[in-house]
């Protein structure tokens, strides 16, 4: 009876060790993926900041509209004086 108990115990320990090794491999893989995703996030953040800076450097649509209106008004003044 003791031999049977020890054999079952040994089988359970072996199953647990196998599961533990599988979980360790999964943790290692997930850590590598996490590192990769963090690097990807940094790259995309830099790209986004660059795009935002570019957009900020461009004239806003309202400034473009006002400038266009001024040109139209100036053009009308030229026709009125001619």
Q: What is the pLDDT along the chain (82 residues), one digit of tens a residue?
A: 689 999 999 999 999 999 999 999 999 999 999 999 999 999 999 999 998 888 888 766 666 666 667 666 666 655 555 5
Give φ, ψ of 59 to 5 degrees. Answer: -70, 145
Distance between CA 36 and CA 60 in Å, rounded?
37
Give, for 4, the enclosing helix (H) or strand (E).
helix 2-57
pTM higher than 0.85 for the full model?
A: no
Distance between CA 49 and CA 55 in Å, rounded?
10
Total domains in the chain come to: 1
Residue ranges making up the domain that contains 54: 2-81
For 9, 31, 33, 59, the CA distances from 68, given in Å and listed in that order, are 85, 55, 51, 12
């Amino acid at each position: 009876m003791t031999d049977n108990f020890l054999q079952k115990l040994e089988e359970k320990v072996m199953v647990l060790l196998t599961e533990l090794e599988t979980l360790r491999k999964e943790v290692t893989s997930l850590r590598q993926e996490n590192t990769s995703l963090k690097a990807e996030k940094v790259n995309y953040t830099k790209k986004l900041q660059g795009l935002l800076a570019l957009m900020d450097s461009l004239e806003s649509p309202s400034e473009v509209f006002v400038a266009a209106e001024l040109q139209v008004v100036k053009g009308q003044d030229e026709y009125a004086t001619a």
